[in-house]
Structure 1
């Protein structure tokens, strides 16, 4: 007879035990639902099959349903949507695009069925990778050093590196009044020299004034071994409303200083890419791999995040004291620790400079803006400024292919990246 916890030293009966667990669960009060609450673990060659049976249908103290593991080793929990402090019903799964993009079908970087692996009314949350549990404490230094670098990057186009842990950028930026921004990002797997460093490509939607950042909304892909324990390329979002003193990473990880006085939140929906999702990467002259990211203010003045046209959730307007952005940027960023007494060799983008061939360099195409009425438009070429901390290590170039054909699939785009350390040029 199967009891609440059964441990078998032999692995031969593994499949039979799993089947029995599921069969028993199906006969329980919760019927099909409880079948999804099967947990199984492997501990030192032993096999544990455990059923968790809530005491009653109304005992909803747990925010999470049991986890599941993907083929790549990532482990997810399923979090109940209504456990979030939601401000509105997030039922819209897709937003109608105002432009077509004929290149997208063969280039989409996301694959997998994490969302479908969770029962209705819940969404997947990454808890651990094959390398082990996530280490979100590493984000505190990331945020504090980024605050210094970001505010300095607004002051001038060429910056002196005066902090050995500074963030370095290569990006295109526009200034005005905006209701959002979007772009289609090529996805790469840059090499990271030191585990405490990272490399990313993203869109920034920002409201900054008088050397303060009142709103920063960020989304893109990142390689960050100190957080994920591996060098895989993963999807992320990030926000702050006080110059990175407090912040929210993805949908559930707050800065240590945030103890309730600054209640940043992100409300997830049922569908869309999980945070921390591994992305398929492009290789040099290989098949392109892309992710389309949109950040847009909706009619309720909440800030939605869409990935490949699917709404994954929103930052509530209550997070911020402002209701519009005055700057949008697209580009890359790395952390330079100088752990070997020189500039890091951590790559940005593909590791190639921005003027290399398109099959070898990272790009962000279809760069677009939204006005406060959610109408999409493309930034005038003369409005885009290129910001580079250290152009000998990483650079960016803006291109415009839209003069001849307004439906061009590359449109306004930026190429960016670089290899980092070079004995003469990037010491």
Structure 2
């Protein structure tokens, strides 16, 4: 009540038009569905809220085929696994708080209203848009990748250099990942993806974040990033998918990388994910897929960016300045260009083996390029990336 006796709205009250109000209601209902009740919540230094959720309440178990189930026990690691590999443990910002999630729970990055409102719709939130082509020239997705195909693959492993590339538009992203692929590049494409990405639209900032993705129909209606739908089953309480990675590499400074391994458990047929030399993160149940139920027909390693300017039309459009990798070209080498090292695949007998018949593809080599090598310390490796727009990439 004001002094004059008239009702006044509180100063912080917002009046929403009817349409906005309906949208907000839908967003809040969606958040109630995907943000599971937490046993404990940890505030991360980067502003994220990490919820420790009982593992049997995680989003995966909303799936009709997983209802009432419990996470599986750890599978047999691929043979030739080198668990003593020298590695700088590149980890995550939220663990710097000194807090941890209790046993029996998994850490999940809480999705906020703001996160969902940045997407154009709830349907698009947490999803890659369907535009998969192998000849990516006409697409706004640009790649610099190494790949093998022509055989049956049961997994892949690599150490991926971590950077914080500049992403110049909210609707663009920059990532470094490995892809486990089966099916054609038509509507039946199956993929499992894992690595790090900078995505202002998805996360609201420019931190590199550990992420996963899967689809069984070429990104049309199945699959999602991280734990934003029912699919991936997490078993680990030490790593949050979608949380920021720390520390990161710096130009001419210390280099950090993360080990990513994806392989098919020979016993149950599920696809497992490991982070670094020891952390078993969880698995994608085989029933999520059609072609990947049996094996992969292609493995890819490398970088991808989105160049929204390629879809603006008109002759005056210039290339995006979104960086791939470190933002520097491959020929600058160690400490300056981003790298993948120790590339391996898993064969039918669950052995980690070196790659044969490795191919390289850079969609726009004047914007982002790739250069390969082999040595005893790094096995198969490559440098890749670039600044995007420059005098040779106008």
TM superposition score normalised by structure 1: 0.72
Task: Decide which of 182, 185, 188 is 1:207's aligned counterpart.
Answer: 182
Task: Decide which of 260, 270, 278 is 1:302's aligned counterpart.
Answer: 270
Please report how far the alpha carbon of residue 143 of structure 1 lies from its aligned counterpart in structure 2 after TM superposition. Answer: 5.2
Please report how far the alpha carbon of residue 193 of structure 1 lies from its aligned counterpart in structure 2 after TM superposition. Answer: 1.1
Give runs of aligned pairs for residues 53-92 of structure 1, distance below 5 A: 63-84=37-58, 85=61, 86=66, 89-92=71-74
Distance 1:115 1:178 in 2: 40
Match of 1:394 in 2: 368
Task: Decide which of 300, 325, 337 is 1:361's aligned counterpart.
Answer: 337
Match of 1:125 in 2: 108
Q: SS at 1:387's partner residue? A: strand
Match of 1:40 in 2: none
Distance 1:135 1:178 in 2: 39
Q: Are residues 1:350 and 2:334 paired?
A: no
Match of 1:287 in 2: 254
CA-based RMSD of the aligned residues comes to 2.8
Q: Which has the larger radius of gyration?
A: 1
Q: Is the 8 A contact 2:119 2:201 kept in 1?
A: no
**Distance 1:210-1:152 versus aligned 2 partners, 3 A rule:** closer
Please report how far the alpha carbon of residue 80 of structure 1 lies from its aligned counterpart in structure 2 after TM superposition. Answer: 1.3
Please report how far the alpha carbon of residue 132 of structure 1 lies from its aligned counterpart in structure 2 after TM superposition. Answer: 5.6
Match of 2:142 in 1: 168
Q: SS at 2:134's partner residue? A: helix
Q: Are residues 1:419 and 2:387 paired?
A: yes
Higher mean displacement: 119-128 or 167-176: 119-128
Give runs of aligned pairs for residues 45-194 of structure 1, distance below 5 A: 63-84=37-58, 85=61, 86=66, 89-92=71-74, 95=77, 98-100=80-82, 104-106=86-88, 108-110=90-92, 113=95, 117-127=100-110, 133=115, 137=119, 140=124, 145=129, 147-148=130-131, 150-153=132-135, 160=137, 162-163=138-139, 166-175=140-149, 176-194=151-169
**Distance 1:205-1:222 versus aligned 2 partners, 3 A rule:** same
Q: SS at 1:227's partner residue? A: helix
Q: Is the 8 A contact 1:206 1:216 kept in 2?
A: yes
Q: SS at 1:242's partner residue? A: coil
Q: Flag structure 1 segments of 5+ consecutive residues without an equivalent.
A: 1-43, 45-61, 154-158, 255-263, 402-407
Q: Is the 8 A contact 1:396 1:416 kept in 2?
A: yes
Q: Are residues 1:331 and 2:295 paired?
A: no
Task: Decide which of 216, 239, 258 is 1:241's aligned counterpart.
Answer: 216
Superposed CA offset, 1:253-293 (max 9, x none) = 24xxxxxxxxx511110334211121121001111111000
Please report how far the alpha carbon of residue 214 of structure 1 lies from its aligned counterpart in structure 2 after TM superposition. Answer: 3.4
Distance 1:102 1:63 in 2: 37
Q: Is the 8 A contact 1:101 1:409 kept in 2?
A: no
Match of 1:316 in 2: 285
**Distance 1:192-1:80 versus aligned 2 partners, 3 A rule:** same
Please report how far the alpha carbon of residue 373 of structure 1 lies from its aligned counterpart in structure 2 after TM superposition. Answer: 2.2
**Distance 1:195-1:94 versus aligned 2 partners, 3 A rule:** farther
Distance 2:279 2:118 in 1: 26
Q: SS at 1:355's partner residue? A: helix
Distance 1:418 1:64 in 2: 41
Q: Flag structure 2 segments of 5+ consecutive residues without an equivalent.
A: 1-11, 13-35
Please report how far the alpha carbon of residue 63 of structure 1 lies from its aligned counterpart in structure 2 after TM superposition. Answer: 4.4
Q: Is the 8 A contact 2:127 2:223 kept in 1?
A: no
Q: SS at 2:331's partner residue? A: coil
